[in-house]
Amino acid sequence: MSILWRLLTKYRRAVILAVALVMAFLLMTLQVRHDRAVVSFTRQAVLFLMSPVIKVTAVTVGSVSRVWGDYVDLRNLREESLRLTREAAVLQRRISHLEEQALETQRLQGLLAMKEFSRAEFLAARVVGKDATNWFKTVLIDRGSLAGIRRNLPVVAPDGLVGRVVEVTPTAAKVQLITDPVSAAGGLIQRTRVTGIVSGSLGSGLKVRYLPLMADIVIGDEVVTSGMGGVFPKGIPLGRVIAAERRSGALFQEATLAPKVDLSRLEEVLILMGTESRDGFETGGVRQP
Amino acid sequence: MRVFLLSLLACAAAQTVLLDPLSVGGVRPDCFLLLVLCSSPRVRPELATIQGFCIGLCQDALSGGPLGLKAFTYSLLGFLTALLSHDLFTDKPLAQFWLLLVGAASAGALSFLLLSFFMGLAPLLPALWVIVPETLYTAVVGFLLLRLPWVRATLARAT
Domain that holds residue A13: 2-32
**Residue B93 falls inside a structural domain:** yes
pLDDT confidence tier of residue B80, bands split at 50, 70 and 90: very high
Residues A96 and A24 in one domain: no
**Residue A284 falls inside a structural domain:** no
Residues A192 and A226 in one domain: yes
CB-defined contacts A:B, below 8 A: 161
**Residue B99 falls inside a structural domain:** yes
CB contact under 8 A, A203 and B26: yes
Burial A156-167 (b: 16+ CB within 10 A, else e): bbbbbbbbbbbb
CB contact under 8 A, B121 and A39: no
CB contact under 8 A, A26 and B68: yes
Residues A242 and A115 in one domain: yes
Residues A141 and A234 in one domain: yes
Q: How far is CA B121 from CA A246, B27, B72, in A?
A: 22, 19, 17
Structural domains in chain B (count): 1
Contact residues, chain B, for A12 at CB < 8 Å: 46
Compute the average pLDDT of residues A118-138. 84
Residues A175 and A230 in one domain: yes
Residues A108 and A153 in one domain: yes
User: What percent of chain B is modeled with pLDDT above 90?
Assistant: 33
**Residue B22 falls inside a structural domain:** no
Domain that holds residue B71: 2-17+27-158
Instruction: Supply the mean pLDDT for chain A.
Output: 82
Which of B28, B30, B126 comes nearest A203 by C-beta?
B126
Q: Within 10 A of A208 (CB to CB), how many other CB atoms are there? A: 29
- B13 close to A (CB below 8 A): yes
**Which of B7, B15, B17, B33 is the best substitution to test chain A (most A C-beta atoms within 10 A)?**
B17
A14, amino acid identity = A
Contact residues, chain B, for A17 at CB < 8 Å: 45-46, 49, 75-76, 79
Q: Residue A218: which CATH number?
A: 2.40.10.350
Distance from CA of B2 to the nearest CA of A (A): 16
CB contact under 8 A, A24 and B119: no
Kindly write down the DSSP assignment for every residue of A14-39, as one continuous string.
HHHHHHHHHHHHHHHHHHHTT-HHHH
Residue A212 CA to residue A214 CA, distance in Å, equals 6
pLDDT confidence tier of residue A119, bands split at 50, 70 and 90: low
Distance from CA of B115 to the nearest CA of A (A): 10
- B113 close to A (CB below 8 A): no
The reported pLDDT for the residue numbered A154 is: 92
Residue B12 CA to residue B9 CA, distance in Å, equals 5
Which of A134, A136, A174 comes nearest B28 by C-beta?
A134
**Which of B67, B84, B131, B134 is the best substitution to test chain A (most A C-beta atoms within 10 A)?**
B67
pTM, two decimal places: 0.72
Residues A8 and A150 in one domain: no
Q: Is the Cβ–Cβ distance between B16 and B59 less than 8 Å?
A: no
The reported pLDDT for the residue numbered A282 is: 37
Residue A286 has pLDDT above 60, yes or no: no
Contact residues, chain B, for A39 at CB < 8 Å: 67
Q: Residue B90: which CATH number?
A: 1.10.1760
Residues A161 and A25 in one domain: no
Q: Is the Cβ–Cβ distance between A145 and A154 less than 8 Å?
A: no
Residue B122 CA to residue B40 CA, distance in Å, equals 30
Question: Tens digit of pLDDT for each residue in A214-232?
Answer: 888 889 999 999 888 888 8
Sequence-ordered strand ranges (E) for chain A: 122-130, 138-141, 154-157, 160-168, 173-177, 184-189, 195-200, 206-212, 222-225, 237-245, 252-259, 268-272
Structural domains in chain A (count): 2
Which value does ipTM take for this structure?
0.86
Residues A101 and A15 in one domain: no
Question: Tens digit of pLDDT for each residue in A229-252?
Answer: 888 888 889 999 998 888 777 788
CB contact under 8 A, A264 and B23: yes
Which of B27, B57, B63 comes nearest A138 by C-beta?
B63
Residue A41 has pLDDT above 90, yes or no: no
A142, amino acid identity = D
Contact residues, chain B, for A26 at CB < 8 Å: 68
Question: Tens digit of pLDDT for each residue in A87-108?
Answer: 766 787 788 778 878 887 877 7
Question: Tens digit of pLDDT for each residue in A202-215?
Answer: 766 789 999 988 88
Closest CA to A174 of B103, B129, B67, B138: B67
Give B 72-101 residues with CB within 8 A of chain A.
72, 75-76, 79, 83
Residues A21 and A90 in one domain: no
B93, amino acid identity = P
**Which of A42, A43, A133 is the best substitution to test chain B (most B C-beta atoms within 10 A)?**
A133
CB contact under 8 A, A135 and B49: no
The reported pLDDT for the residue numbered A100 is: 76
The reported pLDDT for the residue numbered A72 is: 74
**Residue A38 falls inside a structural domain:** no
